[in-house]
Amino acid sequence: MKQVEMIDISKSYDKQTNVLNDINLSINKGEFFVLVGPSGCGKSTLLRMVAGLEEITSGLLTINGEPANHLPPKERKLSMVFQNYALYPHLTVEQNILFGLDVKKVNKEERKRRLKETAEMIGLTDLLKRKPKELSGGQRQRVALARSVVSRAPLCLMDEPLSNLDAKLRAQMRIEIRRLQRQLGLTMIYVTHDQVEAMTMGDRIMVLNEGKVQQVGKPITLYNEPANTFVASFIGSPKMNLGQAELLAEGKQLIVEDKLQFQLSAQDRIHLPPHQKTTIGIRAEHLYPAANHEATHHLEVAGVEHLGNETLIVFEGIGDQLWSAKWSGQWMVSPGDVVPVSISVENFCFFDAENGRLIKPAYKGQSQEVVAQ
């Protein structure tokens, strides 16, 4: 069942330039839906339009099948968690959590019951008498989340709620928010500029850029089959390696950035697009380390990041491009070293050289399915 639907939604502040253009989107009941994109792309504006905090310039918004363009926020049956938490500094944690229920005049016994359930669920039972200034960033975030949960609104909107937390707390809160969403059966629309949050939390993701939808789909689909070079470079860490490619020798050879040459097998030629010039993309984990006699290419190291369980290596000399490789384990290489690598055409995505749109995804299978017992 569709809980939120947007049909040709646009937004303009000056009636001349749109900051959002013809957004068409359906969000299902119980779905964790993520809006992701760079700063200024319009994702927070879109969320505020759903909340009723921004006017819709044109198009139709429906919530639970009913037109909602002109509904005031209080009638949209939703809750919202803001980036700055928006806690009242003079109120205790308990009072902050119950503020919305007080406004709605929910009876005292019901407020008490909901508070107890929510505080236990989110781990705030021992903090109810404190004020926000006595809390850490993670605890304040939990209070904002609890205030949303206690309302029992079926639709929850979150606007970059973890951006003020450190990396460890962000990872912990990602798990907690996802667990709560599943446990309560909420429909959640979550805005972030962090593609790691988008990939790890969303059932589906919409990528926005300059007010336009770039792609909507499951995280793994966006990773393996990016709709264009923008999505390819935005989704994934490190980003997908891109390079200009040209078919030569009657389609039997591919050359990338006038540097890397690939002899094409009959199978390669079946899967390759017929375009003479394209942009190719390959993920960092598909630049493999190789023994000298097995290497397809030798590349010069520009930089190394040792992460303990894996090593990120940046290569230069591929035209004007820097390419990244992600190798499992610890590799003792240094800038200036020339190392052997194995690169296969079967891991290339092909994009239109003019408009950047995906022509063909990599033809080697990318994902594996495990059947739960």
Residue 370 pLDDT greater than 50, yes or no = no
Which CATH number does the domain housing residue 200 bear?
A: 3.40.50.300
Smallest Cα–Cα separation from 50: which of 12, 89, 79? 79
Residue whose token pair is 């009242």 = 88
Averaged over 314-343, what is the pLDDT?
93
Domain count, the chain: 2
Residue 44 pLDDT greater than 50, yes or no = yes
| 121 and 262 share one domain | no
Residue 371 pLDDT greater than 80, yes or no = no
- Would you say residue 365 lies in a domain? no
Calculate ∠ Cα 314-316-319, nearest 5°: 135
Which of 229, 259, 284 terminates a domain? The answer is 229
Cα distances (angstroms) measured from residue 357 to each of 25, 226, 231, 313 = 20, 9, 10, 28
| 58 and 26 share one domain | yes
Calpha distance 303→4 (Å, rounded): 46
Residue 163 pLDDT greater than 60, yes or no = yes
Task: Specify the higher pLDDT residue, 91 or 272.
Answer: 91
| 28 and 106 share one domain | yes
Report the SS3 class of residue 22.
strand
Q: Containing H/E element for 12?
A: strand 2-12
pLDDT confidence of residue 84: 82
Q: Give tens-digit pLDDT for 53-83.
A: 999 999 999 999 999 999 999 899 999 998 8
At 367, is the pLDDT very low, low, confident or very high (cuts 50, 70, 90)?
A: low
Smallest Cα–Cα separation from 231: which of 358, 45, 41? 358
Q: Containing H/E element for 63?
A: strand 58-63
Calpha distance 94→74 (Å, rounded): 22
Which of 229, 257, 281 terminates a domain? The answer is 229
- Would you say residue 129 lies in a domain? yes
pLDDT confidence of residue 34: 97
Smallest Cα–Cα separation from 130: which of 81, 173, 82, 89? 89
| 222 and 156 share one domain | yes
- Would you say residue 373 lies in a domain? no
Residue 45 pLDDT greater than 90, yes or no = yes
At 335, is the pLDDT very low, low, confident or very high (cuts 50, 70, 90)?
A: very high
pLDDT confidence of residue 240: 95
| 106 and 71 share one domain | yes
| 259 and 212 share one domain | no
- Would you say residue 306 lies in a domain? yes
Q: Which domain holds residue 347?
A: 230-360
| 212 and 256 share one domain | no
CA atoms within 13 A on the CB side of 161: 31
pLDDT confidence of residue 135: 92
Calpha distance 3→66 (Å, rounded): 9
At 121, is the pLDDT very low, low, confident or very high (cuts 50, 70, 90)?
A: confident
Q: Give tens-digit pLDDT for 165-215.
A: 788 888 888 888 898 899 889 999 999 999 889 999 999 999 999 999 999
| 203 and 102 share one domain | yes
Q: Which amino acid is located at 107 in the chain? A: N
Calpha distance 259→172 (Å, rounded): 44
Report the SS3 class of residue 155.
strand
Look at the alpha carbons of 261, 265, 267, 270 in this order and tell me if their dihedral is positive or negative. positive
Q: Which of 55-59, 103-107, 177-181, 300-304 has the lowest mean pLDDT?
A: 103-107
- The answer to whether 342 and 327 have CB atoms below 8 angstroms apart is no
- Would you say residue 372 lies in a domain? no
- Would you say residue 367 lies in a domain? no
Mean pLDDT across the chain: 90
pLDDT confidence of residue 373: 47
Averaged over 356-363, what is the pLDDT?
92
Task: Note the residue count of the chain.
Answer: 373
Which of 229, 251, 283 terminates a domain? The answer is 229
Q: Which amino acid is located at 58 in the chain? A: S
- Would you say residue 239 lies in a domain? yes
- Would you say residue 355 lies in a domain? yes
| 83 and 38 share one domain | yes
| 204 and 139 share one domain | yes
